[in-house]
Amino acid sequence: MPLSRSLSITSLSGLLPAWEDDELPVEDLMLFEVAWEVTNKVGGIYTVIQSKAKVTVDEWGENHYMMGPYFEHNFKTQVEGCVPPNPLIQKAMDALINNGCQVHFGRWLIEGSPYVILFDIGSAAWNLDRWKGDLWETCHIGLPYHDREANDSLILGSLIAWFFKELTDHLGDKPNVISHFHEWQAGPGLILSRSRNIPMATVFTTHATLLGRYLCAGNVDFYNNLDKVGDQWVVLGAKIRSKPIISSVLFNSGIDVVTPNGLNVKKFSAMHEFQNLHSTNKTRIQEFVRGHFYGHLDFNLDKTLFFFIAGRYEFSNKGADIFLESLSRLNYLLRVHRNDLTVVVFFIMPAKTNNFNVESLKGQAVRKQLWDTAHTVKERFGKKLYESLLTGNIPDMNTILDRDDLTIMKRAIYATQRHSLPPVTTHNMLDDSEDPILFNVRRIGLFNSRNDRVKIIFHPEFLSSTSPLLPMDYEDFVRGCNLGVFPSYYEPWGYTPGECTVMGIPSVTTNLSGFGCFMEEHVSDPAAYGIYIVDRRFKSAEESCNQLTQFMFSFCQQSRRQRIIQRNRTERLSDLLDWRYLGRFYTHARHLALSRSFPDKYKIDNKGPLKTEGFRYPRPASVPPSPSASLHSTPHHSDVEDDDDEPYNEEEEAERDRLNIKAPFKLGSVPEGKKKQPGESGN
């Protein structure tokens, strides 16, 4: 069965070959995905594994399995235990169980309900010294005794290699096995499997190397020295004769396939539905802001924009350093132009705290007390008004409120008096003086004073709907904001701006993130679609900071109508990030792995031309050729509409985009020549 020539996929234009013959016989194959974050949420890889499950199950059916470490709490809350449908899987598990190692099987209760095989690391820890010796004798790789993370990875990898050895011994030549290893924690399983010549096709995907993360955080010129940097286990894997297919979410140097990260995109039946969600959740954020800034609420919330940055607390890698500096400059620009527009910026990054800030809790209590007082007075006022109207008289507005009502309202007003500035952070920080965000807030002097047009709220904890302070889930919070800002220096992909995009929220990213590069290549004018890309690759830090400031200042210049139009355009890009489309990159990697491991069965056609079509979002037709035609020279009220706003028809523009886009295949459809597998969805 000939396959088209191998290529590194860096673009949607010319991305996947159109296979002329039937696709791989999924019924004769078994796919295993190995990752430390299967049922175990640690970071972004969990999102990749969890969100991709449905499209993979649709394609592979019951021949798809995920493998990872067993944690009792996660298993009890996320997995429905069951018996493996394939008896050979059970035999391989029994081989490990009979030797004192615990293995658990079940269905992961997420969309797609994939099968999972989880290995209890603690039950096999007594083998650690022996397996370290095996690793050294086989690959000359040594692990420090005190490095628990590396030791746990070796135990997991040894169990997985053992499992694959038992499984392939029972399977024989059919069905063939494809094993896909994600990130370095799964690396030992790959190395041991290849060193033991286990007959299976292998794929390794690096998502974000620890080495790169540490080097970038240490101010190393990382991107000009990529040829000297390698992933922990990729470098070690080079010692193995039969090299696996290597894929990455961004870098294409020395790898076979670039595999961008996607999301499960759920489209609303009506365009206005996601706009309504934005309005509803923005109201909830406004309620929190009313309490947080009590006593200093001298700005109009209807003329206030909400920006945010969220993610792992890596101050320089996530771009929080230039973000804070840009906010200082944005504050200066807004004050110079003497405009009453206000920007409230949220930093959602988990840090070490011991409890909520008393002032923050007090603010929400004061807000609630004012609300209750207003309702009490309203009830009394309404009753008197009702009785007066029943008698046919217009009430005397000077007497309708009695002395008790005035006393209650005065007490409520006095309760809002505050002699200190609203707090910058919502929690008590354990290391307040050394915290990078708070240190730089002091440096730039943004203390939420009355004169500042940019206010900062540092929420050092992930959001939760059960929080007594800001009771919102992350998704609801994102929908309520106006702009997500993620000027990362090290971000191999970057899920946060992608999540903003599928929710119709504009975002700022960089050309050093996989998401930013992806959008830069495949959208003619990203800024028109609400994707602002800061150049951190070819510009200095000062120039990048100025560019970010200009992006945010330009966003503040938009009218309310322009922001609504832009959100419509941003949401329309969500199809680009759908796993129904991006899952094909992983399919291509598996094809390459099979052709490399089993060349007699899956041959590569070195002469066959690639049959592909280009893919690029056009510039929105309603966007004028010059920004001066659609942007004001200075910020203005968000509720002011101009008579000369750009002409816009959402349905016409969306239809024009669809006609201009040429995709290699239709979303959700089956490419020509492919047979639908049992259980595969066409939606």
Which tens digits make up the pLDDT trace of 562-580? 999 999 999 988 888 999 8
Q: Which residue has the higher pLDDT, 242 or 107?
A: 107
Q: What are phi and psi of 107, to 5 degrees?
A: -105, 130
Arithmetic mean of pLDDT over the chain:
82
3-state secondary structure of 381: helix
Distance CA 545, CA 534 (A): 9
The pLDDT assigned to 446 comes to: 96
Q: E-assigned strands of 466-617?
A: 483-485, 507-510, 531-534
User: What is each CA distance from 82 to 64, 114, 196, in whole angstroms?
Assistant: 15, 12, 30
For residue 543, what are its two tokens?
Answer: 């120039």
Read off the pLDDT of residues 100-150 as tens digits, 9 standing for 90 and up: 999 999 999 999 999 999 999 999 999 999 999 988 888 888 888 888 999
The H or E element spanning position 90 is helix 87-97
Confidence (pLDDT) at 209: 66
* Parallel, antiparallel or unpaired: strands 103-108 and 79-81: antiparallel
**Measured in whole angstroms, how far is the alpha carbon of residue 464 from the centre of its chain?**
16
Separation between Cα atoms, residue 597 and residue 245, nearest integer Å = 10
Report which of 461, 519, 445 is spatially closest to residue 486, judged by C-alpha positions: 519
148-171 and 87-97 helices, crossing angle to 10°: 130
The rounded distance, in Å, linking the Cα atoms of 677 and 11 is: 28
The CA radius of gyration of the chain, in Å to the nearest whole number, is: 28
Is the pLDDT reported for residue 617 higher than 90?
no
* CB-CB contact of 219 with 316 (8 Å): yes
List the beta strands (DSSP E) in 598-650: none
Least Cα distance to 218 among 351, 317, 309 occurs for 317
- Beta carbons of 566 and 557 less than 8 angstroms apart: no
pLDDT of residue 402: 81
**pLDDT in the model for residue 267:** 67
**Domain boundaries, given as residue ranges, for the chain:** 26-207, 359-419
| DSSP letter string, 161-206 | HHHHHHHHHHHTTSSEEEEEEETGGGHHHHHHHHHTT-SSEEEEEE
- Ranges of H-type helices in 268-402: 272-292, 320-336, 358-390
User: What is the pTM for the complete model shown?
Assistant: 0.81
**Mean of the pLDDT values across residues 361-376?**
89
Task: Tell me: pLDDT of 195 over 50.
Answer: yes
At residue 400, does pLDDT exceed 60? yes
Q: What are phi and psi of 118, to 5 degrees?
A: -115, 135
Please report the pLDDT score of residue 534 as a whole number.
Answer: 97
Span 602-631, mean pLDDT?
53
Residue predicted with more confidence, 266 or 220 = 266
**Region 26-207: CATH code:** 3.40.50.2000
Other CB atoms within 10 Å distance of the CB of residue 125: 14
Least confident segment among 151-160, 288-297, 444-453, 657-666? 657-666
User: Which residue do the tokens 């940097």 mark?
Assistant: 229
> In the prediction, which pLDDT does 183 show?
86
Q: Single out the residue of 71, 9, 64, 20 nearest to residue 42, CA to CA.
A: 71
Query: Considering only CA atoms, which of 355, 345, 362 is closest in space to residue 310?
Result: 345
pLDDT in tens, 7-37: 333 344 444 444 334 366 788 899 999 999 9
3-state secondary structure 458-499: EECCCCECCCCCCECCHHHHHHHCCEEECCCCCECCCHHHHH
Among residues 634, 628, 639, the alpha carbon closest in space to that of 338 is found at 634
Contact 519, 533 (CB under 8 A): yes
Number of C-beta neighbours around residue 171 at 10 A: 17
